[in-house]
Chains A and B, each alone.
Chain A
């Protein structure tokens, strides 16, 4: 092998190495795989594309005694005119999708409160779709001492 061929071959090899890790997402743990699938199906985006922002306030207990009844509240200072829809996901539930809420300017502000079920300790995510097509979210971990699914 002459020098030119060797350089070409090694360049191809290095390029291949660089591409490989991109194929498999680094966070592909089994729990998040299910979430990713639901996100792709319902929102059409990946978790990595959603920006975490501070102006969504997700209120949930740090420790929930019963997973059958976890009160959550989503509030935001983002003007309601800019917001289209809200989703709530729980990472490790058998069905991560909990609910989605469509807002209109008649709501006056972004506010939604309900009680959800959680199977085990997991992240709760509130994802907002803005009118410009971008997605923003807030995440909070809730520790569950007794699961509430099934």
Chain B
């Protein structure tokens, strides 16, 4: 399983002023810290901590999260499309991983 691979889904076209859904799924284990039952050693947490949603490089939303979100997180938000542009998500985890993903929306 490749950690950090994301799928970002937005409609290709939207009317000006329309509120569209921005949906994303990210491949990530999202494990809380826990003890290995066999050895008793602590396995550190591995989860996404932060996700930023940008539209044309302007910050729309910031999501902070912990291991309370299910594995392979699905997240949906809304975005008001005033102009054509690029939707970008930037997300990072507690082990220093940082990824981004973009998608285009055309305003009609």
Contact = CB atoms under 8 A, between A and B. Distances in A.
Interface residues of B, number: 27
Contact of A111 (B55, B70, B78): B78
A69 interface: yes
Given A109-B19, A112-B77, A101 B68 contact: no
Contact of A107 (B60, B65, B66, B67): B60
Interface string A81-96: 0000000001001110
A99 B64 contact: yes
B75 interface: yes
B65 A98 contact: yes
- Please classify the interface of chain B as helix (H, G, I), strand (E, B), loop, or mixed, using the class held by over half of its residues: strand
Interface residues of A, number: 32
Interface of B: 19, 21, 32, 34, 55, 58-71, 73-80
Interface of A: 68-71, 73, 90, 93-95, 97-109, 111-117, 148-150
14 contacts: A69-B70, A94-B32, A99-B65, A100-B63, A101-B63, A101-B77, A104-B60, A106-B80, A107-B78, A109-B19, A112-B76, A112-B77, A113-B76, A149-B32
A-B pairs, 9 with minimum CB distance: A108-B80, A108-B19, A98-B68, A113-B76, A115-B70, A99-B65, A111-B78, A102-B62, A106-B60
